[in-house]
């Protein structure tokens, strides 16, 4: 073996170890602290989601914590995330970055304030997560957050269809702004539910504690946000589309064209964690 090859092998070994484990220490805190950290990340993600959804939720009549807290909602979200990171940095970073990546997934071509497209920010987020916590943990976190997102969208679509008369669109054929941003409408209700359950099993097999805590946080957030819709208005999964907005304009977060219908809800910006 040449000297150059012998020098290269340790570097490759360290690179492989970094890809698997990341730079964060593998040893985690006590289980109780990890559970509390996951719950706090759930609070942070919920508050940031409500900040971005505030106008849309006001239009649909859904409960919104940011509307009650006002400008303090963002500060509370940051405080919750900081507390979660202090308790379990690995869990906090993994779950928050996974939530950010899934929040970008609907509008991958949308150009964001930093000048990057959504898919580029998603790729950067996943790369940071892999560097910090390793590829296996990153994939497990993406599976966990994806399972919550898919099942939540499935529930939203069922509630919307129970309130709104009319046929069910075929998978991928959205009837308005909401379905284009709802995985259950894009993939099909059964497909989304099965995919969500499958991802949940993957996440639970990798880290049962994190998965159970995250699902407990998601259940609490879901129950807190399941308010009745304003009579006569559609929910987030199927708001009236602005006929002047063109196909997918509202769904992608782009503003409707001037002269559009005044009955459409405000478009939610992409990038929800």
Phi, psi angles (nearest 5°) of residue 111: -85, 130
Average pLDDT taken over every residue of the chain: 77
pLDDT band at 41 (very low <50, low <70, confident <90, very high): very high
pLDDT of 220 higher than 80? yes
Helices (H), the chain: 3-21, 31-52, 54-60, 65-69, 72-87, 89-104, 118-133, 135-163, 177-180, 183-187, 189-206, 208-224
pLDDT of residue 74: 94
pLDDT band at 1 (very low <50, low <70, confident <90, very high): low
pLDDT 10s digits, 189-205:
999 999 999 999 999 99
pLDDT of 250 higher than 50? no
What is the pLDDT averaged over residues 77-98? 96
What is the pLDDT averaged over residues 140-165? 89
Largest CA distance in the chain: 77
pLDDT 10s digits, 107-132:
767 788 888 888 898 999 999 999 99
b/e map 106-145, b = 16+ CB within 10 Å: bbeebebeeeebbeebbeebbeebbebbbbebbbbbbbbb
pLDDT band at 238 (very low <50, low <70, confident <90, very high): very low
pLDDT of 10 higher than 70? no
pLDDT of residue 36: 97
Least confident of 13-17, 39-43, 152-156, 185-189: 13-17
Domain residue limits, the chain? 26-224
Alpha-carbon distance 46 to 126, whole Å? 20
């Amino acid at each position: 073996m040449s000297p150059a090859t012998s020098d290269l092998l340790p570097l490759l070994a360290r690179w492989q170890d970094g890809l698997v484990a990341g730079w964060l220490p593998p040893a985690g805190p006590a289980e109780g602290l990890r559970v509390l950290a996951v719950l706090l990340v759930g609070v942070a993600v919920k508050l940031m989601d409500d900040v971005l959804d505030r106008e849309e939720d006001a239009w649909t009549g859904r409960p919104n914590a940011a509307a009650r807290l006002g400008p303090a909602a963002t500060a509370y979200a940051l405080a919750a995330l900081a507390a979660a990171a202090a308790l379990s940095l690995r869990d906090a970073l993994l779950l928050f970055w996974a939530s950010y990546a899934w929040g970008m997934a609907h509008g991958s071509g949308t150009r964001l304030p930093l000048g990057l497209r959504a898919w580029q920010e998603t790729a950067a987020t996943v790369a940071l997560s892999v560097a910090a916590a390793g590829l296996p943990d990153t994939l497990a976190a993406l599976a966990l957050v994806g399972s919550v997102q898919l099942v939540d969208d499935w529930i939203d679509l069922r509630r919307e269809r129970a309130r709104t008369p009319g046929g069910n669109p075929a998978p991928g054929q959205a009837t308005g702004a909401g379905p284009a941003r709802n995985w259950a409408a894009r993939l099909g209700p059964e497909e989304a539910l099965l995919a969500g359950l499958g991802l949940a099993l993957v996440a639970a097999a990798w880290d049962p504690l994190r998965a159970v805590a995250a699902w407990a946080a998601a259940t609490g957030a879901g129950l807190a946000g399941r308010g009745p819709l304003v009579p006569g208005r559609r929910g987030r999964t199927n708001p009236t589309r602005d006929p002047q907005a063109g196909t997918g304009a509202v769904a992608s977060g782009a503003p409707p064209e001037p002269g559009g219908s005044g009955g459409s809800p405000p478009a939610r910006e992409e990038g929800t964690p």
